[in-house]
Amino acid sequence: MAAAADSPLYLGLDFSTQQLKAVAIDAGLAVVQRNSVQFDSELPDFRTQGGVHIHPDGLTVTSPVLMWVKALDLLLDKLKGAGLDFSRIRAVSGSGQQHGSVFWRTGASQTLDQLDPELRLHQLLQDSFSVQDSPVWMDSSSGRQCQDLQAAVGGALRLAEITGSRAYERFTGNQIAKLRASRADEFQDTERISLVSSFAATLFLGSYAAIDYSDGSGMNLLDIKSRNWSDLCLEATAPHLNRLLGAPQPSTSVLGPVSSYFVHRYGFSESCMVVAFTGDNPASLAGMRLQQGDVAVSLGTSDTVFVWIQEPRPALEGHIFCNPVDLQAYMALLCFKNGSLTRKRIRDECAGRSWDVFSAALRDTALGNGGNIGFYFDTIEITPPAVGVHRFDCHNNKVSSWSPQVEVRAVVEGQFLSRRLHAERLGYSIIPGTRVLATGGASSNKEILQVLSDVFNAPVYTLDLADSACLGCAYRALHGVLAESGLSFSDVVKNAPEPQLVATPHPTAQQVYEGMLKRFAQLEEMVLQKTCT
Ligand code: ADP
Ligand code: XUL
């Protein structure tokens, strides 16, 4: 039955690497609106590629913070143009690419407090940032600060025990330490530091929004057990950092009503609530309604693999984050930098820039690719920290090229062998009943998902909507307003559409990939040693 024309709606947003997306749902969880703004093509003045600027050192990667603000202006205009009645929105929540940081200039809170609804946000906030180019998750320029932090707290494993991860260059604390050392004046002129998620919540709230526990776990600063900033980590990063960060809050918190700017400019209701924003991966966990035993594989700009866990066992590889929907639980995550952008490069070079041709190459080549194994690290990888393109034939001999079709299968098989290898090292194992839940841009490609199913030897499911982070935030907005009456997240989303089965493993998959996985692990070790020497 269609919902009444004035029934409540819940808005979810996702400030991801390449675009800003929105999904509105009704109280019955049906999607009523969907829209997006592509940064490169719709905001060309900022001259980004894939939403970012890669600096000449090849390590520093940033995005213009005003591009994100302008994207929100544009998205809201698009939603209005498409007929979304903002007055029906009961709550809004959102997510952002994880780890990115926004530096608000001294005095910005006053500007936020008096936003003139006649003007656009990007005009109003032009002078509100002490740093124009926000470091993002693709940055790997803070190696020195990572070493310093680990030394200060008693080693990599100790840091992982406190914060859920050893030091990673993209993690926000290390970015803050780098900025403080390299751009002291801008740092001095900063009154508040947000994550991309809490920055976006701040725009809606008109005052500084708290960092939530789940996205806050990606900073190397939060004690994931006490769910408070770790004094040890804060002190090792910058003086008085807790003042710049504000107190962290549960990811399910209702932060307050939208600011009067949104009421007057777009017709939001004064009682529309802002529910804490979180990271895109935690938001995907919510959107996919991940259950214990499932493994989620997100194929966006980055590829990520994540599982729901009850007891954290931090290690030197992978990350443990506080769970975004259950205060007692955690999630484990692996992140791979060379995901869609690398697949797209191979598509452009070997498949005439067409996903259809790319898919045909996967269909026309055999499982196991005749024993050929490829590693494709266009930029220095996170898991494992290796770089370069490395091709091996079935005898483990290095080769310099393959036919276009073999190259296409090699990039996809190599990526998924790596996802499985590292997920198993994190404690994940395939058991009868295991579901692989796929999301992100590439999850619309059935042939890619068939390879995923074969390599994992498990069925692959997707949601109708490839963008689970955005949908997860619409669910979280709804949960935020209902949580006060004691409803759990799973109660709230129990009638959401079930994921659809899209691929089952080929009968020979286990035989082909068991052996290949062992060879892959040995070859990866070799590639890694090469990178380190
Ligand atoms: P993000 O949220 O990280 O910005 P998305 O999850 O929207 O990214 O995924 C975008 C990526 O999806 C693009 O880089 C693109 O290469 C990839 N993609 C889109 N369509 C396909 C397809 N049919 N096959 C494979 N990859 C695709
Ligand atoms: C996760 C990570 C990326 C970003 C961008 O640790 O760095 O997945 O969240 O999507």
Mean pLDDT, the chain, integer: 95
Q: Which ligand has the shortest distance to the CA of 170? A: 2
Q: Which ligand has the shortest distance to the CA of 358? A: 1
Closest C-alpha to ligand 1, atom 19: 441
Q: Give the model's pLDDT for residue 466.
A: 67
Q: Give the model's pLDDT for residue 281.
A: 96
Reply yes or no on whether the pLDDT at 398 is more than 70. yes
Angle at which helix 196-205 crosses helix 65-81, to 10 degrees, equals: 50
Which residues partner with 501 through β-bridges? 461
Residue that has been written with the tokens 């380190």 in this structure? 532
CA of 303 to the centre of ligand 2 (A): 8
Q: Which ligand has the shortest distance to the CA of 342? A: 1
Q: Give the model's pLDDT for residue 434.
A: 87
Once rounded to an integer, what is the mean pLDDT over residues 295-303? 92
Residue 97 CA, closest ligand 1 atom number: 3
CA of 328 to the centre of ligand 1 (A): 33
| DSSP secondary structure letter of residue 383 | S
Q: Give the model's pLDDT for residue 532.
A: 63
Q: How many distinct helices (H) and strands (E) make up the chain?
A: 21, 24
More confident residue, 428 or 169: 169
d(CA 306, CA 469): 13
Q: Where are the domains of the chain?
A: 9-276, 289-465+499-533
In this prediction, what percent of the chain has a pLDDT beyond 70? 98
CA of 360 to the centre of ligand 1 (A): 18
CA of 341 to the centre of ligand 1 (A): 8
Closest C-alpha to ligand 1, atom 12: 441
Chosen CATH of 289-465+499-533 out of 3.90.660.10, 3.10.180.10, 3.90.1150.10, 3.30.420.40? 3.30.420.40
CA of 384 to the centre of ligand 2 (A): 15
Q: Is the CB of 280 under 6 A from ligand 2?
A: yes
Q: Is the CB of 17 under 6 A from ligand 2?
A: yes
CATH topology match: 9-276 vs 289-465+499-533:
yes
Once rounded to an integer, what is the mean pLDDT over residues 175-198? 98
Note the pLDDT tens digit of each residue in 219-248. Answer: 999 999 999 999 999 999 999 999 999 999
Q: In what order do the strands lie in the sheet with 319-322?
A: 319-322, 330-336, 303-309, 295-299, 436-439, 460-462, 500-503
Once rounded to an integer, what is the mean pLDDT over residues 73-77? 98
DSSP secondary structure, 300-319, as one string: SSSEEEEEEESS----SSSE
d(CA 405, CA 426): 32
Reply yes or no on whether the pLDDT at 312 is more than 90. no
| DSSP secondary structure letter of residue 249 | B
Closest C-alpha to ligand 2, atom 6: 335
Segment holding 103, helix H or strand E = strand 101-105
d(CA 12, CA 255): 15
Single out the residue of 91, 474, 23, 6 nearest to residue 272, CA to CA. Answer: 91
Q: How far is CA 450 from the centre of its chain?
A: 23
CA of 51 to the centre of ligand 2 (A): 14
Q: Which ligand has the shortest distance to the CA of 337? A: 2
Residue 333 CA, closest ligand 2 atom number: 6
d(CA 63, CA 355): 27
Out of 63, 165, 280, 337, mutate this one to test ligand 2's pocket (max ligand atoms within 8 Å of CB): namely: 280
Residue that has been written with the tokens 């990063």 in this structure? 237
Classify domain 9-276 by CATH number: 3.30.420.40
CA of 375 to the centre of ligand 1 (A): 20
CA of 304 to the centre of ligand 2 (A): 7
Out of 340, 350, 353, 449, mutate this one to test ligand 1's pocket (max ligand atoms within 8 Å of CB): namely: 340
Which residues partner with 503 through β-bridges? 460
Collapsing DSSP states into helix, strand and coil, what is residue 505?
coil
CA of 109 to the centre of ligand 2 (A): 28
Exposure string of 430-465, with b = 16+ CB inside 10 Å and e = fewer, is eeeeebbbbbbbbbebebbbbbbbbbbbbebbbbeb
Q: Give the model's pLDDT for residue 1.
A: 44
CA of 17 to the centre of ligand 2 (A): 9
Note the pLDDT tens digit of each residue in 277-293. Answer: 999 999 999 999 998 88
Out of 13, 14, 15, 18, mutate this one to test ligand 1's pocket (max ligand atoms within 8 Å of CB): namely: 18
Residue 52: CA count within 13 A, CB half-sphere: 22
Measured CA to CA in angstroms, residue 507 lies from 412, 457, 504, 511, 519 at distances of: 19, 9, 9, 9, 21
Reply yes or no on whether the pLDDT at 463 is more than 90. no
CA of 282 to the centre of ligand 2 (A): 10
In this structure, the residues whose C-beta lies within 6 A of any atom of ligand 1 are 16-19, 300-301, 340-341, 343-344, 355, 440-442, 444-445, 448
Closest C-alpha to ligand 1, atom 16: 340
Largest Cα separation within the chain, whole Å, is 68
Terminal Cα-to-Cα distance of the chain (whole angstroms): 64
d(CA 129, CA 104): 4
Q: Which ligand has the shortest distance to the CA of 36? A: 1
d(CA 391, CA 238): 43
Closest C-alpha to ligand 2, atom 5: 97
